[in-house]
Structure 1
Amino acid sequence: MNIYLLRHGETDWNCEGRLQGHEDVWMNRKGIAQIENAAEALAGLAVTLDAIITSPLVRARKSAEIVADKTGYQKDKIVIDPLYIERSFGLGEGLTVEERRQKYMDDTYPEMESMILFLERAKTAFYNTINKYHKENNILIAAHGAILKAVMTSVTEGKIVYEADNVQIEPGSIHMIQYQKNTIALYKYSFTEQTFFQFHF
């Protein structure tokens, strides 16, 4: 089973350095172009998607719909899964980097989702997907940077450290988890080389 992890495209809040979390922010023009590029890459690889799952937030849902259009997947079959919603950053949401530094020096925001619960949610979401779609070959999950990193951290049992920068999940990027008989390999798609490269962890 190949599970493609697609981060939504850029938003204006990304550009401004504002924490988005559960705020329902739309992609900007560049972000839509990034997802169109990602969708074309998947189509060029002749990937036949058996299921598309998305976070309920509009920036992820629109990304899923763009991929569906480009790959011939029926949009009415896209599944919205609340477990893939972005991490809640509580009162930090909407604030710029400078505003957060002034108000919350330790990057801990009142009412934010705890790391323990966040990683557990990511693990539950991933294995729910595995169990539900175990007969399918290619699954795409359209979601957000933090939750996708949390999925990677959870499924590698912490070998990919959530706080570390060795795995970057840029807007519009594609990663792939290859899952077979409880073994996991992680890849990232290179748009310049038009192929996937494996991460070693």
Structure 2
Amino acid sequence: MVGFPKIWLLRHGETHWNAQGRIQGQLESDLTALGKEQAQAQARIMAPVLAANPACFVSPLGRAQQTAQIALGGRSFTTDQRLAEAYAGALQGLTRPEADSRWPGIIAANPNSLDLFCEAPDGEGYASFLARISDFMTHLRGPSVVVAHGLLGQVIRGLVLGLERRDMAVLPNEQGCVYLLENGTETVLR
């Protein structure tokens, strides 16, 4: 979808819970040593971009804040609550097998993380998640750097690319790279 400004999108580096396969949602888990290395790789990519002084927006969650401190080289940024990861309700903190034992069939019915988080018992739901991301996107006024999360990133990327939810849900969620979004296209910077 044309109409959004140029966006450099960074997913936070690997966390301890990512490494354990736990559903984080809006719960906190620090970056691993690998996660810090991934943020340093993003810093190398972002150095020439930051020289142009784009607006920088970061999720309030600790893993994104940690990543931003490294990847943005200490540059100041705006923390925006709308950039928090999807709230996965009762699934937060569980592994997929634990979730499936408590709610049999939930994993089979929602094999993609975007669907699982958005269909979680007592979770945020897709409509609310999409609404807050869309609200953030419509308020961007120029080239912007966004440091956030995998599922939130799938939706931002999907909005820029003009995708339906089912297509957003299968987008890759790489760490340590930067997704450059402009003019309805995506380029992965490594």
TM-score if structure 2 supplies the norm length? 0.82
* Map 1:1-201 → 2, pairs under 5 A: 1-43=5-47, 48-69=52-73, 74-75=75-76, 78-104=77-103, 105-106=105-106, 107=116, 108-128=119-139, 130=140, 133-134=141-142, 138-159=143-164, 161-163=167-169, 165=170, 167-179=171-183, 184-189=184-189, 191=190
CA contact (8 A) 1:6 1:173 kept: yes
> Which whole-Å CA distance do the structure 1 matches of 2:78 and 2:158 have between them?
23
Provide the C-alpha distance between the structure 1 equivalents of 2:54 and 2:156, rounded to a whole number of angstroms: 20
Q: Does structure 2 retain, via aligned residues, the 8 Å contact 1:119–1:154?
A: no
| Greater Cα offset, 30-39 or 108-117 | 108-117
Which structure: greater helix fraction? 2
Shift of 1:49: 3.5
Structure 1, gaps ≥5 residues long: 192-201
Q: Give the aligned length.
A: 173
User: Match of 1:150, as an amino acid?
Assistant: V
1:64 shift after superposition: 1.2
- Tell me, what secondary structure is at the counterpart of 2:72? helix
Q: Aligned to 1:24, what secondary structure does the other structure show? A: coil
Q: Is the contact between residue 120 and residue 154 of structure 1 (CA under 8 Å) also seen in structure 2? A: no
Q: Relative to 1, partners in 2 of residues 1:143 and 1:45: Cα closer, same or farther, differing over 3 Å?
A: closer
Q: Distance in 1 between matches of 2:46 and 2:93?
A: 32
Q: Distance in 2 between matches of 1:12 and 1:40?
A: 23
Measured in 2, the distance between the counterparts of 1:10 and 1:42 equals 18
Once the two structures are TM-superposed, the CA of residue 152 in structure 1 deviates from its matched residue by 1.8
Give the Cα separation in 1 of the matches to 2:50 and 2:125.
39
Amino acid at match of 1:127: T
Decide which moves more: 12-21 or 170-179: 170-179
CA contact (8 A) 1:53 1:64 kept: no
TM normalised by structure 1 equals 0.78
CA distance in 1, matches of 2:41, 2:163: 31
The two structures, once aligned, show a CA RMSD in angstroms of 2.0
Instruction: Report the alpha carbon displacement of residue 171 of structure 1 after superposing the two structures with TM.
Output: 2.0
